[in-house]
């Protein structure tokens, strides 16, 4: 018997009906008219079965077990079923198929401030929200001072929360939830809100819960936080479990899954290769300048992109242009060598040639990057390779100062600053 | 290492099939939440108002004045030998309890959409708490009613001990109808438009402005199909001493209320499976 299992899911599935939700209509009139349409349609194609392609499985055949004290990160793209899974385990919505059980007191934190009412004071909201999250009145009373301390809002505890700053509101709301003391905690993207200090506090609290040998299921897009907090990760893809295991490998696998990483391509002289106009590609690769393996490039690591190609024509100058795209297919920049970089001003020699582009550290943001390559001869494109290289730039936790959200922006340069200089 | 103790409950999560149950035991475990939700509704209702809880008596008293003028004075409506203002207020106070409870319950589930999508608790708590919030207003209205009685030289008798039973019947009736409307409103937003209209029609179908004695005696048990007939007859009998004491009409009202209430609770429980998906 699996004595220490506290969450058990077996074949969980959740089906939603697209467009027209399951026989739901905003008004009776809609229901009547759509009902009439259905009747007409049914009459027209008599005996024909209704198409079922307007349903979607948000979750499909999900089975896993969580043991007491485990902290499991649930990762996956938008719409992969992460939130649906949490909603089913929190009993907010029912599964369509399968079954699950949880053992012990469950606390679910699907948003910060569940049940808060703007007109009520901080004190009143602590009680209300506590009760809604499943605390008994006596428990709330016993922990009230602790909650207020944690939120750091003593002075405003009898002020309606609508007069709170958003930071105060979040702190109080999280403080209530943090003192829920569940044996199993389901958390969904709580870190998506709030400032750095607040996020640090939230993460710290989740870490505390884990240390107290309680069980946490933590849904997040934030891979840095998942890797920092969770020993185990569950990767959902299109509603199914794509991978389940130690957090590091699962996260790596998830990152690869986006569009496959290619840090090196080689073409043998005899094999067909991208080419034209007397130029043939032989090799492209990405390489960290410090010798680190190319799948461990961090935002700080300088690296190089190398391109080798055969040149058969002695006339004209070859130039390699690189276009950098981020994972959202945004063109970050398009670079080519400046004129003075050419080794031979009189034109490119024949034979096997190499062009190296040096990318400084602290330029690209973290995430998957695709490099498209174009070789031009005297401004005429002769070779194109749209996904010559695909590589990941990884975030580094060091300089985050407790802030774990995705760093915004297409690039992430480190610039020179002169700060706080007294001005006469 | 902490092991799983006996009191660690195992919660099963699976698609519900078959007939719903009301799950009263779970409802009872969550009674504190019902209290807090009621308390919130009451607290919020009169925040930032000048008159505050006075509003709770304005509605029945204003209706009484209008009724007394038009029906009592101008139309000369019979009132079973009781001064007409008292006669109508004794009905308006429980009527307001019913009508307010019903409309609050009807809108409660859609109004709690964000809660329903973010946290689990027995959904029946929501309409129950909404009806509960109407009780505070009722107590205020009732105080005015009792305060007015000596003014007309009417004093309560031992019959007044029956009053709590009629209050419970009014609450049950309002919850019964409210449950149906609340469950329907998650699918059909029409309910929001229907409720005020339903309340108005129902008011005329209930002996608030007129006495039950206008209805021929043989039809009265059938009249009792409207549960509020039993409630208001009871109120007038217990408080004002009219001849509308407990009888077949009340029995019919109680039976009808029970049927609608249990049916409503089961319907609500069946619909609640998809609340989070449709609300």
Supply the CATH number for residue A295's domain: 2.70.50.60
| Residue given tokens 């105060």 in the structure block | A168
Query: Who among B8, B118, B188 is closest to A25 (CB)?
Result: B188
Cβ of B15 and A95 within 8 Å?
yes
Domain co-membership, A285 together with A160: no
Report if residue A406 sits inside a domain: no
Cβ of A119 and B47 within 8 Å?
yes
pTM of the complete model beyond 0.80: no
From chain A, pick out residues whose CB is under 8 angstroms from the CB of B32: 131, 136-137
Could you give the CA distance from residue A275 to residue A279 in angstroms, rounded to a whole number?
Answer: 5
Report if residue B122 sits inside a domain: yes
Report if residue B8 sits inside a domain: no
Report if residue A147 sits inside a domain: yes
Report if residue B107 sits inside a domain: yes
Chain B positions contacting chain A at CB under 8 Å are 1-4, 8-16, 32-33, 36-37, 39-40, 43-44, 47-48, 114-121, 187-190, 273-274, 276-278
How far apart are the CA of A404 and the nearest CA of chain B, in angstroms? 24
What range defines the domain where residue A30 resides?
A: 5-255
Report if residue A415 sits inside a domain: no
What range defines the domain where residue B123 resides?
A: 24-278
Domain co-membership, A206 together with A319: no
Report if residue A418 sits inside a domain: no
Cα–Cα nearest to A259, from A358, A165, A387: A387
Q: Is it the case that residue A234 has pLDDT exceeding 50?
A: yes
Of the candidate ranges A31-40, A167-176, A283-292, B244-253, the one whose mean pLDDT is the lowest: A31-40
Counting the structural domains of chain A, the total is 2
Q: Is it the case that residue B207 has pLDDT exceeding 90?
A: yes
pLDDT band (50, 70, 90) for residue B6: very low
Identify the pLDDT of residue B4.
40
Domain co-membership, A219 together with A290: no
How far apart are the CA of B59 and the nearest CA of chain A, in angstroms? 24
Report if residue A410 sits inside a domain: no
Could you give the CA distance from residue A165 to residue A163 in angstroms, rounded to a whole number?
Answer: 7
Domain co-membership, A200 together with A341: no
Query: In whole angstroms, how large is the CA radius of gyration of chain A?
Result: 28
Q: What is the mean pLDDT of residues A250-278?
A: 81
Domain co-membership, A247 together with A280: no
Report if residue A409 sits inside a domain: no
Domain co-membership, A116 together with A243: yes
Picking from A232, A255, A278, the residue at the C-terminal end of a domain is: A255
Domain co-membership, A110 together with A137: yes
Cβ of B14 and A91 within 8 Å?
no
Could you give the CA distance from residue A343 to residue A351 in angstroms, rounded to a whole number?
Answer: 14
Q: Is it the case that residue A302 has pLDDT exceeding 90?
A: yes
Cβ of A117 and B4 within 8 Å?
no
Cβ count near A405 (within 10 Å)? 17
Of the candidate ranges A87-101, A223-237, B99-113, B193-207, the one whose mean pLDDT is the lowest: A223-237
Report if residue B170 sits inside a domain: yes
Query: With contact defined as beta carbons under 8 Å apart, do B9 and A109 qualify?
Result: no
Mean pLDDT (chain A, rounded): 83
Q: Dihedral of CA B90/B92/B94/B95: which sign?
A: positive
Picking from A238, A255, A272, the residue at the C-terminal end of a domain is: A255
Q: Is it the case that residue A1 has pLDDT exceeding 50?
A: no
In degrees and rounded to multiples of 5, residue A282 shows phi and psi of -120, -35
Counting the structural domains of chain B, the total is 1
Q: What is the mean pLDDT of residues A64-88?
A: 89
Of the candidate ranges A64-73, B8-17, B101-110, B200-209, the one whose mean pLDDT is the lowest: B8-17
How far apart are the CA of B270 and the nearest CA of chain A, in angstroms? 12
- Of B56 and A400, the one with more pLDDT: B56
Q: What tokens were used for B232?
A: 């208001």
Identify the pLDDT of residue A402.
65
Could you give the CA distance from residue A323 to residue A336 in angstroms, rounded to a whole number?
Answer: 9
Cβ count near A193 (within 10 Å)? 19
Picking from A189, A221, A255, the residue at the C-terminal end of a domain is: A255
Report if residue B11 sits inside a domain: no
Q: What tokens were used for A308?
A: 């080798």
Domain co-membership, A179 together with A80: yes
Report if residue B198 sits inside a domain: yes
Report if residue A376 sits inside a domain: yes
pLDDT-above-90 percentage for chain A: 38
Domain co-membership, A211 together with A333: no
Report if residue B19 sits inside a domain: no
Domain co-membership, A175 together with A298: no
- Of A386 and B255, the one with more pLDDT: B255
pLDDT band (50, 70, 90) for residue A245: very high
Which residue in chain A is spatially nearest to B187 when comparing CA positions?
A: A24
How far apart are the CA of A114 and the nearest CA of chain B, in angstroms? 7
Query: pLDDT tens digits, residue range B118-139?
Result: 899 999 999 999 999 999 999 9
How far apart are the CA of A331 and the nearest CA of chain B, in angstroms? 38
Cβ of A102 and B10 within 8 Å?
yes
Identify the pLDDT of residue A21.
44
Q: What is the mean pLDDT of residues A302-310?
A: 94
CATH of the domain at A107: 3.40.50.300
Report if residue B195 sits inside a domain: yes
Q: What is the mean pLDDT of residues B47-71?
A: 88
Identify the pLDDT of residue B2.
37
Report if residue A282 sits inside a domain: yes
pLDDT band (50, 70, 90) for residue A345: low
Domain co-membership, A227 together with A83: yes
Identify the pLDDT of residue A273.
82
Q: What tokens were used for A403?
A: 């802030």
Which residue in chain A is spatially nearest to B14 when comparing CA positions?
A: A99
Q: What is the mean pLDDT of residues A214-232?
A: 84
Domain co-membership, A299 together with A163: no
């Amino acid at each position: 018997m699996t004595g220490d299992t506290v969450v058990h899911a077996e074949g969980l599935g959740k089906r939603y009906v697209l467009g027209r939700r399951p026989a739901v209509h905003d008004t009776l009139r809609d229901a009547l008219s759509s009902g009439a349409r259905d009747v007409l349609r049914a009459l027209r194609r008599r005996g024909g079965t209704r198409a079922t392609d307007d349903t979607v499985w948000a979750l499909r055949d999900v089975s896993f077990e969580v043991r007491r004290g485990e902290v499991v990160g649930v990762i996956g793209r938008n719409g992969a079923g992460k939130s649906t899974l949490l909603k089913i385990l929190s009993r907010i919505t029912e599964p369509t198929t399968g079954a699950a059980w949880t053992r012990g007191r469950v606390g679910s934190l699907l948003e910060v401030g569940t049940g808060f009412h703007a007109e009520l004071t901080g004190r009143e909201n602590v009680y209300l929200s506590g009760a809604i999250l499943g605390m008994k009145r006596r428990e709330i009373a016993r922990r009230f001072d602790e909650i207020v301390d944690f939120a750091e809002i003593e002075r405003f505890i009898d002020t309606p929360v609508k007069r709170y700053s958003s930071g105060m509101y979040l702190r109080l709301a999280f403080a209530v939830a943090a003192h829920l003391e569940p044996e199993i905690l389901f958390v969904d993207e709580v870190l998506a809100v709030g400032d750095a200090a607040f996020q640090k506090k939230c993460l710290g609290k989740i870490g505390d819960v884990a240390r107290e040998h309680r069980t946490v299921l933590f849904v997040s897009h934030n891979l840095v936080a998942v890797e920092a907090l969770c020993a185990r990760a569950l990767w959902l893809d299109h509603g199914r479990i794509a991978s389940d295991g130690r957090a590091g490998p699962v996260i790596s696998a998830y990152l690869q899954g986006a569009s496959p990483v290619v840090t090196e391509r080689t073409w043998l002289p005899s094999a067909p290769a991208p080419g034209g106009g007397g130029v043939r590609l032989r090799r492209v690769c990405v390489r960290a300048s410090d010798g680190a393996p190319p799948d461990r490039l961090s935002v700080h690591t300088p690296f190089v992109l190398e391109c080798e190609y055969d040149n058969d024509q002695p006339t004209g100058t070859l130039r390699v242009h690189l276009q950098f795209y981020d994972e959202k297919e945004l063109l970050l920049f398009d670079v080519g060598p400046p004129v003075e970089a050419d080794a031979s001003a009189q034109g490119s020699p024949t034979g096997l040639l190499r062009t190296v582009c040096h990318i400084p550290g602290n330029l690209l943001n973290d995430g998957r990057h695709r490099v498209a390559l174009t070789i031009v001869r005297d401004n005429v494109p002769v070779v194109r390779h749209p996904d010559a290289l695909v590589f990941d730039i990884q975030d580094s936790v060091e300089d985050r100062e407790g802030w774990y959200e995705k760093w915004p922006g297409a690039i992430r340069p480190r610039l020179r600053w002169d700060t706080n200089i007294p001005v006469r | 290492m902490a092991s799983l103790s006996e009191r660690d409950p195992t919660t099963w999560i699976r698609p519900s099939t078959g007939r719903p149950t009301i799950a009263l035991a779970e409802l009872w475990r969550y009674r504190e939440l019902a209290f807090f939700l009621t308390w919130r509704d009451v607290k919020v209702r009169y925040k930032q108002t000048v008159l505050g809880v006075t509003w709770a008596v304005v509605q029945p008293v204003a209706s009484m004045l209008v009724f007394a003028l038009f029906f009592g004075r101008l139309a000369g409506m019979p009132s079973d030998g009781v001064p007409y203002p008292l006669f109508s207020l004794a009905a308006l106070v429980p009527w307001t309890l019913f009508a307010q409870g019903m409309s609050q319950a009807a809108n409660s589930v859609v109004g709690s959409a964000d809660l329903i999508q973010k946290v689990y608790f027995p959904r029946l708590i929501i309409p129950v708490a909404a009806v509960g919030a109407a009780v505070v207003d009722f107590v205020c209205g009732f105080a005015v009613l009792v305060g007015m009685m000596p003014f007309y030289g009417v004093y309560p008798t031992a019959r007044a001990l029956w009053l709590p039973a009629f209050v419970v019947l009014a609450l049950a009736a309002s919850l019964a109808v409210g449950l149906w409307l609340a469950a329907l409103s998650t699918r059909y937003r029409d309910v929001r438009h229907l409720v005020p209209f339903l309340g108005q029609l129902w008011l005329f179908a209930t002996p608030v402005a007129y006495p039950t004695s206008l209805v021929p005696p043989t039809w009265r048990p059938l009249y009792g199909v409207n549960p509020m007939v039993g409630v208001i007859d009871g109120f007038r009998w217990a408080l004002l001493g009219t001849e509308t004491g407990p009888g077949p009409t009340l029995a019919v009202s109680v039976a009808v209320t029970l049927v609608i209430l249990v049916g409503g609770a089961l319907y609500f429980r069946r619909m609640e499976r998809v609340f989070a998906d449709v609300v």
